[in-house]
Amino acid sequence: MTTIYLTTKINASKKIVFDVSRNIDIHQQSASKSKEKAIAGITSGLINLNETVTWRGKHFGFYLTHKSRISAMSFYDYFVDEMEEGKFKSFKHKHHFKETNGVTIMTDLLQYETPFGIFGKCFDVLFLKKHLIKFLLERNKTLTVMAEKESAY
């Protein structure tokens, strides 16, 4: 199993950051480089507990789909999305939010397993983990801009 752990400091309340983080429209903006679109389930607005979204995006030259469900949520502290259908053997992304003096620390803990035994592990080490980190960093950059913009009002 591979684990990616990222923290992002955002000058906005955790309520704003929490809502921006589960906003399907904002996610699509942040993933525009991979042409990622929500094609089924919740396809716009805020996703909630037990709801699903199916994404279609271009990664490594192929259009792939990934269906995930919000499997846990506690307003405004955390939520978890888990893959129900897709190319991973397993995929679980935990999003945590902690606010101090109007600044929110958003933590991403992404854990996944690749299929195809040793070939999947090699692909992960050589390409996939770096790709996912870059994808999350781009997402978090967009979330930061959107949350801080909303916080200014």
Q: What is the pLDDT of residues 29-75, one digit of tens each?
A: 999 889 999 999 999 999 999 999 999 999 999 999 999 999 999 99
Predicted confidence at residue 153, as pLDDT, reads: 75
> At residue 113, what is the residue type?
E
How many whole angstroms separate alpha carbon 46 and alpha carbon 34? 21
Three-state SS for 53?
strand
Class of domain 2-151: alpha beta
Which long-range contacts does 73-78 make (Cβ < 8 Å, 24+ apart)?
73/48, 73/49, 75/18, 76/14, 76/15, 76/18, 76/19, 77/14, 77/18
pTM above 0.85, yes or no: yes
**Residue 18, C-beta contacts closer than 8 angstroms, at least 6 positions apart:** 75, 76, 77, 79, 97
- Is the CB of residue 149 less than 8 Å from the CB of residue 11? no
Closest CA to 52 of 27, 23, 10, 84: 84
- Mean residue pLDDT of the chain comes to 96
